[in-house]
Structure 1
Amino acid sequence: MPSERTTTVQKQMSDTNTRGWINGFIGMLIFSGSLPATRVAVLELDPVFLTGARATIAGVLALGLVLFFKEQRPARHQLLSLAIVAMGVVVGFPLLTALALQYVTSAHSIVFLGLLPLATAAFGVLRGGERPRPVFWFFSMMGSLLVVGFAVSQGVSASLKGDVLMLLAILVCGLGYAEGAQLSRTLGGWQVISWALLLSLPVMALLAGLLMPVSFAEVSLPAWMSLAYVSVFSMLIGFVFWYRGLAQGGIAAVGQLQLLQPFFGLALAATLLHERVSLGMLGVTLAVILCVAGAKRFSR
């Protein structure tokens, strides 16, 4: 029979794992609103300014967190990983999605999120040196073909720029997620995104200042609310829960919660933006998610 000490350790591990799933789920829900909110914001704000502004606002808040908790500076060998995280999730994904949403609807762009867990897993394989089974690559190819086929069926000539930008956004975000998840094991969950934001703060603040509109008089309340959401929630609070969840519950396990993100995102796009979500779009999203689920299952 297990000793009392062993039972206590097992219970603590179980509780930590449960908290990881809860934190990861909250983070995923927050991220689900990012693309609909960005879509609203880019209708009235320049996408490059939006990228700089959201990172600047989140960076100032991150500075407050670091100072309040008196966090030690990252080690020198961690700076490269933080730079990769910053380029992926602070600069790359927000900028590329903001540019893409000038050409496609948020509902259309959310379909591409079905590839995000796969991109994260693929970069995890490259970073961790794992050797997935051949079935992993089968699901990977099927998921990619489904997304490309959907883009062609929708008239690729009309949204080619948006689709290419979304694919690039998924790639850089997957890299940022994988790098951040690995770094969170030693640096801490919320610390990763906070230091990544601070690392990019000088450049992003300068960018926002240079591209600031001459007048904000014509910017509507929904656009301001969308900017606030992507700055405070998508860029900071969501990552606090997400990276904490990855650290507590395991990267591979909690990372699968990303598979639910397209469903919540499509629901938000239909509810808040009154965008049309066709049965075909839902079908492709479901098929892509199933492919990614299969790839994740055979990733080791």
Structure 2
Amino acid sequence: MDLRAIAMGLAFALMWSSAFTSARMIVADAPPLTALALRFLVSGLIGVALAAALGQSARLTRAQWKATTIFGLCQNALYLGFNFVAMQWVEASLAAIVASTMPLLVALSGWLIFGEKLRPLGVLGLMAGVAGVGLIMGTRLSGGVDALGLLYCGIGVLALTFATLSVRGASSGGNLLMIVGLQMLVGAALLGVAALALETWAVNWTPRLGLAFAYTTLVPGLLATFVWFLLVQQIGAVRAATFHFLNPFFGVATAALLLGERLGVWDVVGVVIVAFGILAVQMAKATPLR
């Protein structure tokens, strides 16, 4: 793995993790589904316009349309939709920790459902990940965390896991930025319908809301997704996913720095254990069985 790939992986992990903090800022002043639908509309239009300017076509392959639809539904509408709603009641650090378990859930599903072989290091990683999450959840639940918000975070990460398992080769065939933009528009359409049905327009216009919305739209929304696909193209999905082990650290650090969220000793211990579990699973997958 060269320095360029490492820099891209670090940048992706930081951008992806910071989205929970900016989302927490947004939902404090705006209805979550409406804000998220507008975010995807803006970022999707920008992505499609940039792709068209670069000569990319919306005439995608069948596999690319499948990826666009599944990611638009599962990743953008369901995963982020449930997380935005949950963050009205759940701290950004906890939402980031739950979402960061996606690589563990993907590995566990591949092992139990699809019969994929996993090295002993991977099994150890899964056990550590489960233990770390259990430690954090036990501490938070005893401290009075909102159970419905936590449930929504769980549903969201399951939707993201399904999308990851369902789509393979999404970045092949060219038109990368066009795919990113179109899947944003799919998410915007689905979330827009939900917002019209479930929410009323009530926005508290503040500078923080404007800055958080702009940041979330352009950086985690558009740039991070594009960097991720580039990283997968360069080093492969398994090696790229190794950078997910940084997400618990970056997620809680960003929330602590910008929102002042406090972390207990057991939270820190749990984050370290979860990060180790993710790294162990990815390292095991990167080393083929003989």
Partner of 2:18: 33
Partner of 2:7: 22
Kept in 2: contact 1:100–1:161 (CA 8 A): yes
Name whichever of 249-258 and 131-140 sits farther off: 131-140
Name whichever of 223-232 and 29-38 sits farther off: 223-232
- Give unpaired runs (5+ residues) of structure 2: none
Aligned pairs for 1:252-263 within 5 A: 252-263=238-249
Tell me the SS of whatever aligns to 1:277: coil
What's the TM-score once normalised by structure 2's chain length?
Answer: 0.85
Tell me the SS of whatever aligns to 2:170: helix
> 1:273: how far off?
0.8
Kept in 1: contact 2:48–2:178 (CA 8 A): no
Quick one: which amino acid aligns to residue 268 of structure 2? L
Residue in structure 1 matching 2:169, options 182, 205, 213: 182
The two structures, once aligned, show a CA RMSD in angstroms of 2.8
Q: 1:52-92 CA deviation, whole Å, 9 max, x = no partner?
A: 11111111112212221222211234322221111222212
In the aligned structure 1, how far is the partner of 2:114 from the partner of 2:81?
28
In the aligned structure 2, how far is the partner of 1:104 from the partner of 1:130?
34
> 1:187: how far off?
4.0
Q: 1:296 to 1:165 in 2, by over 3 A?
A: same
Is 1:65 the counterpart of 2:50? The answer is yes
Aligned pairs for 1:1-300 within 5 A: 17-72=2-57, 73-122=59-108, 130-133=116-119, 135-155=121-141, 158-177=145-164, 182-187=169-174, 189-205=176-192, 214=201, 216=203, 218-299=204-285, 300=288
Quick one: which amino acid aligns to residue 62 of structure 1? G
In the aligned structure 1, how far is the partner of 2:202 from the partner of 2:149?
28
In the aligned structure 1, how far is the partner of 2:51 from the partner of 2:97?
35
> 1:222: how far off?
0.7
Q: 1:126 to 1:184 in 2, by over 3 A?
A: farther
Q: 1:163 to 1:199 in 2, by over 3 A?
A: closer
Kept in 2: contact 1:54–1:231 (CA 8 A): yes
- Give unpaired runs (5+ residues) of structure 1: 1-13
Give 1 or 2: higher helix fraction: 1
Q: 1:22-55 CA deviation, whole Å, 9 max, x = no partner?
A: 2222122111210001111111111111221111
Quick one: which amino acid aligns to residue 144 of structure 1? V
What's the TM-score once normalised by structure 1's chain length?
Answer: 0.82
Partner of 1:8: none
Quick one: which amino acid aligns to residue 161 of structure 1? L
Q: 1:221-275 CA deviation, whole Å, 9 max, x = no partner?
A: 1122111122111111111111101111221112111111221221111111111
Q: 1:20 to 1:32 in 2, by over 3 A?
A: same
Larger radius of gyration: 1
> 1:180: how far off?
5.6
Kept in 2: contact 1:188–1:247 (CA 8 A): no
Name the % identity. 19
In the aligned structure 2, how far is the partner of 1:124 from the partner of 1:186?
25
In the aligned structure 2, how far is the partner of 1:263 from the partner of 1:25?
12
Name whichever of 149-158 and 109-118 sits farther off: 149-158
Q: 1:135 to 1:260 in 2, by over 3 A?
A: closer
Kept in 2: contact 1:53–1:208 (CA 8 A): no
